[in-house]
Chains A and B, each alone.
Chain A
Amino acid sequence: MTVLTRGTERTAAQEQPSARRRNARERAWAVAFASPYLLHLVALTAWPVLASLFFSMTEYDLMSPPRFVGFGNFARLFGDETFWRTLGNTAYFAVLFVPTQTALALLLAIALNQRLRGMALFRAAYFVPVVSSWVVVAYVADAVFNPQTGIANQVLGLAGLPAENWLQDPVLVIPTLAAVAVWKGVGYMMVLFLAGLQAIPEERYEAAKIDGASAWSRFRYVTLPGISGTTFLVLVLTSIETLQSFEQVYVMTDGGPHGASELTVLYLYRQGFQFFQMGYASAVAWVLFVLVLALTLVQFRLQRRWVHYA
């Protein structure tokens, strides 16, 4: 990321007064142009981070003013079994979802990265779930996973297997949600990988072919290192997003059955917006916030071992 800093090497004293005035005016223009984001940083970044830290140390029900309780909310959170269960659910969901989606997206991108007839049409098909809201997806998923009338149990029946309860089964609910999430998101990630694949220079493949590398070796030693930058970025961003997953469970299961799919942000939403415990909800947010940041840092740490930047 190179930034042009024209003119800064000259000192102000050397400049003509008129040039200095012009510079000041140019800077004023630039600040005016950037002002929406400056306001964004204050109101939508700095304020939330600091305010939620403050509120996490208060009891606040929106009726009476916030009451300072120190680390009381965190102490309560530490002993809150439901909270720990939601963290476990969230981690389980992420562990199923992120690697599956990444692997499938890469596979599809490799398959699509050839001049196939009708490729644009295929790409579009994979993108329809991406642009659909979770409310639409909930009804589309119901056509598949409804225990009585869905396609999934029809298919199982044809194979002579017993029907399942999918989203109403406490054991299957998270794997089913993860499968639906992969179905919805794989097209987006596939396009990211396509971009990464297309950035690998053709010569590398040709050189590998001349050296007699097999198709597998070319994949292993040209393709995988070539897209490791994309893979890293995709993994970081999807992990951040997945650990904060809310809309899917809010719409599809409301955390059920019996809390089996209650994810942490759904728990936060309930504490804050159904029970009006803004302080406690802020504490939940801060713990999750720190966990997500920690995971992101670990991923950045580990990238040196496997990410190759050409």
Chain B
Amino acid sequence: MRRSISYVLVLAGAVVMLLPFAAALGNSLKSFAQYIQVPPVWLPDPVQWDNYAEVWRRTPFGLYLANSLLIAVLAVAGNVVTSATVGHALARMRLPGKQALLTMALGTMMLPTVITIVPNFLLFRSLGWLDTLLPLIVPYWLATPIGIFLMRQTFLAIPKDFEEAASLDGANPWQVFWRVHVPLAKPALATLAVFTFTTSWKAVLEPVIYLTSPENYTLPVGVLSLKGQFVGNDQLVTAAAMMSLLPMLVVFVLAQRYFVRGTMSAGLKG
């Protein structure tokens, strides 16, 4: 009885989650006339697959995609490497002021980011980084609090025997980290990677503030800018939006268990 109530609830919820996507997908396959038709038609007729090709023909979609991918890949690489080294220092190394650093990392997780908007803009401006992709990448190369916590927790759980054996063999701390601990932490690294990818891929605020030339736009700001250019062609902008989700969905489907694991660890650490 309770089980069937749960089932109905969860099923209804899933429909509410996915139906709007289906409707938007339908919109992206309509002609403009059908897009604005009242009362609305649910299924596009005929299905205009060409809308998607038209986005590629008439907009710099490929460029936006390339920018988003470049930023995401570099952000992931940077955050995974630096969060791992910092987490390792906090978990397994003789770091002076370890406790203070840990407390500060916790504090910055609770720190309202609104305070950083103006000063970071001025900082990157003084570095000459405005209208480049650097402000969207470099902060990830300085480790993120959530990544540090995740990696610290992971490295704490690895038994000491491994590194002791390696140290006896004359391995230096980098070799212990890179050859012994990192291979054992792969699931956590993958979790951090998908998390960083998602954060970078979804970002709107930072690209809006830092990027001015259309050739530097990422997918979210690029698609947003199409809205003004394609008045009377909203079906094309909807198609572009749907397409911008596709790489993210591919990552999500391939790495689903890491998403769930990452969310859980993000919540449990604190």
Is A23 touching B94 in the complex (CB atoms < 8 A)?
yes
Stretch of B50-58, B112-120, B185-193 at the chain-chain interface:
B112-120
Residue B159 is within 8 A (CB to CB) of chain A in the complex:
no
- Whether B205 pairs with A246 at a CB distance below 8 angstroms is yes
User: Inside 8 A of A111's CB, which chain B residues have their CB?
Assistant: 5-7, 9-10
Kindly state whether residue A116 has any CB partner on chain B within 8 Å: yes
Q: Give the distance in Å from the alpha carbon of A246 to the alpha carbon of B202 in the complex.
A: 13
In contact, A114 and B3 (Cβ under 8 angstroms) = yes
Report B67-104 residues with CB < 8 Å from chain A CB. Answer: 82, 85-86, 88-90, 93-96, 98-99, 101-102, 104
Q: How many chain-A residues does the 8 Å CB contact rule pick out?
A: 99
CB neighbours (8 Å) of A150 from chain B are 40
Report the minimal beta-carbon distance from A248 to chain B, rounded to whole angstroms: 9
Q: Does A293 contact B (CB under 8 A)?
A: yes
Which residues of chain A have C-beta atoms less than 8 A from B88's C-beta? 33
B226-244 to A contact mask, C-beta < 8 Å, 1/0: 0000000000011001101
The answer to whether A159 has its CB under 8 Å from any CB of chain B is: no
Complex: A52 Cα to B13 Cα, angstroms: 43
Decide if B260 touches A288 in the complex (CB within 8 Å).
no
A40–B264 CB distance below 8 A:
no
A26 (CB) vs chain B CBs: closest residue: B94
CA distance A44 to B14 in the complex (A): 39
Closest to B13 in A: A108
Stretch in A92-100, A168-176, A191-199, A200-208 touching the partner: A191-199
Complex contact B177–A128 (CB within 8 A): no
Residue of A41, A45, A143 most packed against chain B (CB within 10 A): A143
Are B112 and A36 within 8 A (Cβ)? Answer: no
Query: Given A187-B17, A191-B263, A285-B114, are A128 and B120 neighbors across the interface (CB < 8 Å)?
Result: no
Q: Mark A126-139, 1 if CB is under 8 A from B, else 0.
A: 11110111111011
Interface of A is mostly: helix
Alpha-carbon separation in the docked complex, A5 to B26 (Å): 60
Q: Which residues of chain B have C-beta atoms less than 8 A from A7's C-beta?
A: 94
Given contacts A37-B86, A44-B142, A191-B263, is CB(A144)–CB(B23) below 8 Å? yes
- Cβ of B17 and Cβ of A125 under 8 Å apart? yes
A135 in contact with B204 (CB, 8 Å): yes
Q: Are A34 and B35 neighbours in the complex by a CB distance under 8 Å? A: no
Cβ contact of A191, chosen from B21, B120, B260, cutoff 8 A: B260
Decide if A30 touches B95 in the complex (CB within 8 Å): yes
B102 x A285 contact (CB < 8 A) = no
Given contacts A48-B119, A250-B208, contact A142 B36 (CB under 8 A): no
Residues in B neighbouring A144, C-beta threshold 8 A: 20, 23
**A195 and B10 contacting across the interface, CB-CB below 8 Å:** no
Which of A12-20, A75-83, A230-238 forms part of the interface with chain B?
Answer: A230-238
Question: In whole Å, how far is A124's beta carbon from the nearest beta carbon of chain B?
Answer: 6
Inside 8 A of B19's CB, which chain A residues have their CB? 151
List B contacts of A286 (CB < 8 A): 115
21 A-B residue contacts at CB 8 Å? Answer: A5-B98, A29-B172, A34-B86, A40-B142, A44-B116, A44-B139, A55-B122, A114-B6, A126-B17, A138-B241, A140-B241, A149-B36, A149-B38, A191-B267, A196-B267, A230-B267, A233-B267, A278-B118, A285-B114, A292-B112, A292-B114
Instruction: Add 10 more A-B contacts to A52-B116, A234-B267 (CB < 8 A).
Output: A45-B108, A55-B119, A128-B252, A136-B242, A136-B245, A154-B39, A195-B263, A196-B267, A230-B267, A251-B224
A residues neighboring B (CB under 8 Å): 1, 3, 5-7, 23, 26-27, 29-31, 33-34, 36-37, 39-41, 43-45, 47-49, 51-52, 55, 62, 107-108, 110-112, 114, 116, 120, 122-129, 131-136, 138-144, 148-151, 154, 183, 187-188, 191-192, 194-196, 199, 215, 230, 233-234, 236-237, 240, 243-244, 246-247, 250-251, 265, 268-269, 272-273, 278, 281-282, 285-286, 288-289, 292-293, 296
